[in-house]
Amino acid sequence: MEQYDVIILGGGAAGLSAGLYTTRAMLSTLVLESVGYGGQVLVTDIIENYPGFPEGVKGPALSILMEEQTRKFGAVMKFEEVISIEQIGEPIKLVNTSEAIYQARTIIIATGGSHRKLQVPGEEEFAGKGVSYCAVCDGNFFRNQKVIVIGGGDAALDEGTYLTGLVEQVTIIHRRDELRASKILQQRAFANPKIDFMWSHVVEEFEGNGILESVKLRNLKTSELFSIPTAGAFIYIGFDSNSAFLNGQVPVDEFGHIYANGQMETSLPGIYACGDIRVASDKQLGGAVGDGITAALASYRYLTELDT
């Protein structure tokens, strides 16, 4: 059985950053990735808020650079899906994948997640061309224009309020006639003159010609179908964390995010969680990179203490 000091689950920005630091600290490192190195970065057209790229950087190009840099310092990288982990005794852990079983002294979980999709026509076609899942990432593209936000929870109101600092008007479209969001966020949104609401409406289709131009809505009370023009549509209907494979072994919140402290330590010794999978993550690329680095250094310190 192959044995490593560190096994990193997930080869997105957090996992690759962690791998860069563990290999440079001379820890033998395996990165396991099931879909594609870069994770969410790989499916992002242009990133404008990652430091060092004043003109922005294309997600696929950045993913290749991150992968190359981690590989260059000696990380073993394999395309395998992690099925489960087992704690055999401190510090021995096993990682079971679709192909093999590996032994680790520390595990860094960086399996991220994905924004839930509406799964209506046009959503995929206009993703990155008007349809977005991140106001902090893409709000700037819609300065002084009218946008819509879809959802009724904390994220929809929080990001909708953020957008009012940039855009002319935010219309929040919600399928119910009351919000799930916390009362304080509701009060703020109701008091904001740049926010209006369309209750009991759902999006049926995103429409446009090359870029998003309008959304087709259905009034759930009357079944009426109609279109409204919009430059941008921000979808906040949930985030699916990739933590089901942990099978409850590592404590998670109601959304599957893993609890970890400022050192990225979970409650299990030698097991760390970083990036979007972590409770309270800001779900930003820079944050995921920082988390990965912190997890790697915490893992290094843990192993150094064990060995001295």
Ligand X SMILES: Cc1cc2nc3c(=O)[nH]c(=O)nc-3n(C[C@H](O)[C@H](O)[C@H](O)COP(=O)(O)OP(=O)(O)OC[C@H]3O[C@@H](n4cnc5c(N)ncnc54)[C@H](O)[C@@H]3O)c2cc1C
8 Å CB contact between 219 and 200: yes
Select from 107-115, 179-187, 203-211, 261-269 the region that touches ligand X (CB under 6 A): 107-115
SS3 state of residue 305 = helix
Q: Which residues contact 185 (CB under 8 A, 6 or more apart)?
A: 154, 157, 158, 161
Place of tokens 């009370």: 221
Which of 5, 134, 158, 291 is the catalytic position? 134
Active site residue 274: no
Based on CB atoms, which residue is closest to ligand X, 214 or 242?
Answer: 242
- Amino acid letter, residue 151: G
Q: Please measure the distance between the N-terminal and C-terminal CA atoms of the chain and give it in whole angstroms.
A: 25
Select from 7-15, 67-75, 215-223, 264-272 the region that touches ligand X (CB under 6 A): 7-15
Based on CB atoms, which residue is closest to ligand X, 79 or 199?
Answer: 79
Interface with ligand X includes 82 (CB under 6 A)? yes
With CB under 6 A, what is the number of residues at the site for ligand X? 36
Q: How far is the CB of 292 from ligand X (least distance, A)?
A: 7
Q: How far is CA 237 from CA 119, 149, 204, 269, in A?
A: 11, 10, 15, 34
Among 4, 12, 23, 171, binds ligand X (CB under 6 A): 12
- For the sheet with 131-132, list strands across it: 131-132, 232-235, 146-150, 169-173, 195-198
Among 28, 49, 192, 200, binds ligand X (CB under 6 A): 49
Interface with ligand X includes 44 (CB under 6 A)? yes
Among 4, 5, 10, 130, binds ligand X (CB under 6 A): 10
Q: Which residues contact 26 (CB under 8 A, 6 or more apart)?
A: none
Q: How far is the CB of 123 from ligand X (least distance, A)?
A: 12
Please list every residue from 228 through 287 that binds ligand X, using CB under 6 A.
242, 245, 275-276, 283-286
Among 39, 152, 208, 270, binds ligand X (CB under 6 A): 39
8 Å CB contact between 99 and 89: no
| Residue span 113-142 as binding mask against ligand X, x where in contact by CB under 6 A, dash where not | x-------------------xx--x-----
Interface with ligand X includes 156 (CB under 6 A)? no
SS3 state of residue 36 = coil
Based on CB atoms, which residue is closest to ligand X, 98 or 187?
Answer: 98
CA distance 86 to 64: 31
CA distance 108 to 273: 6
SS3 state of residue 153 = coil
Interface residues toward ligand X, by CB under 6 A: 9-15, 32-35, 39-41, 43-44, 47, 49, 81-82, 110-113, 133-134, 137, 242, 245, 275-276, 283-286, 288
Catalytic residue annotation: 134, 137-138
